[in-house]
Amino acid sequence: MRKGTARDGKRSSSAASASEGQESSDAGQVATARKADDRRGSGARRTSGEPLRASWRPAPSGERDRGQRNRGRLARFARTYGWRVYALPILTVITVLVAVDTASTGDDTPGGQQAATPASGEQSPGPQATEKRGAPVNLNIPTAKLPAGQDFTPAGKGSWHVVPGDGKKVGKGGEEFTYTVEVEDGLDPTSFGGEATFARMVDETLADKRSWIGGGQVSLRRVGPDHPDPSFRVSLTSLETSKRPDVCGFSIPYPTSCWNSSSKRVVINLGRWVRGAKAFASDMITYRQYAINHEVGHALGNNHVGCGNDGDFAPVMMQQTFGVANNYVAKLNTVDPSNRDAVPRDGKTCKPNAWPVLDSRPAN
């Protein structure tokens, strides 16, 4: 019994010693591995005596969860849109390239339109139509002849009708004058734009502050056909009717407008309305405004005058239909007893003007 116990004790002692030795060896290896890891973590190189070890440092659980969620979203996106997932980046790149190419090759023409250029090796044929500018008007030569231009009705029926319409009073001063707008029967309206257009031009001209109301001495109001006795009648009249002795007469052999006091008719010559006057060149608007203001000026009691200051705007009561040079207009007036002394032969020449009330004068 004792021998067995001794042997058992020896075996137990040997096992304990072996176990302690193994634990000591393992502890030493762990310590050595930690030292090696510490050296590598701080940037030191592995020595030749150290075993190769894989560093396994698992990501925190939160990062793993986010990565799995992201991969899950991508997978669902790919399953939903299929091939479009791969086409989208390609289309984006193509769009960017096209935009860059357009910006680099575009030009500065208005509205983004490219200027037309001939094909390589070809010459541009040039414009199909070009401007034709007339020579400046010499105001010191005869200018009374009717300019060439659009056709018009040479002779109407010699009677007039009132263009429907009336208006508010314009101007704040003095006596109120009423007027109608009339057109001779038998005129082709296409040559002058129609009755409404003529009436509007008359109304707008007389309502302008540069017209007779601008001086604060009179006011004007258009009336309709039912008004019993207008102060004057602004009447568009054919060339042949204007020549009649009871209308304008023809003492000066050039077509003109006039004021007939016996009939209270402001006669606007259709030929002049359509073609104008040489002194005004191609400025038809200004000439028509002048014709209205000049003849209405007679209805308001004004007579003809000449150019007052050389190079100044002509007075609206100058006979600008014939010209704006005193010497030339005075020569024409020698055959008209009523105007023989209206314009002096003093060599002065003015500039065409449509208005009786002006705020400024031309610069010298």
For the domain made up of 160-278+288-301, the CATH class stated in words is alpha beta
Q: Which residues, other chains included, contact 360 with Cβ-Cβ below 8 Å and sequence gap of 6+?
A: none
Which of 281, 257, 301 lies closest to 352 in space, CA to CA? 281
Which of 314, 316, 282, 289 lies closest to 302 in space, CA to CA? 316
Gyration radius from the chain CA atoms:
52
The C-alpha atoms of residue 219 and residue 271 are separated, in whole angstroms, by: 29
The C-alpha atoms of residue 232 and residue 223 are separated, in whole angstroms, by: 10
- Predicted confidence (pLDDT) per residue in 118-127, tens digit: 455 566 676 7
Confidence (pLDDT) at 60: 54
Confidence (pLDDT) at 359: 81
Confidence (pLDDT) at 318: 97
Confidence (pLDDT) at 252: 82
Confidence (pLDDT) at 136: 59
- DSSP 3-state of 47: coil
The structure's pTM equals: 0.64
At 275, give phi and psi (nearest 5°). -110, -15
| Two structure tokens written together for 113 | 């339109």
Which of 176, 160, 158, 159 lies closest to 168 in space, CA to CA? 176
The C-alpha atoms of residue 25 and residue 28 are separated, in whole angstroms, by: 5
The C-alpha atoms of residue 11 and residue 17 are separated, in whole angstroms, by: 10
Domain ranges of the chain: 160-278+288-301
Confidence (pLDDT) at 312: 96
The C-alpha atoms of residue 128 and residue 120 are separated, in whole angstroms, by: 21
At 234, give phi and psi (nearest 5°). -80, 110
**CA-based end-to-end distance of the chain:** 153
The C-alpha atoms of residue 205 and residue 355 are separated, in whole angstroms, by: 9
Q: Which residues, other chains included, contact 303 with Cβ-Cβ below 8 Å and sequence gap of 6+?
A: 317, 342
Note the Cα 215 to chain centre separation in Å.
35
- In the chain, which stretches have pLDDT less than 50? 1-56, 106-118
Which of 301, 268, 289 lies closest to 358 in space, CA to CA? 289
- Predicted confidence (pLDDT) per residue in 331-347, tens digit: 999 888 888 899 999 99
Which of 205, 208, 153, 209 lies closest to 181 in space, CA to CA? 205
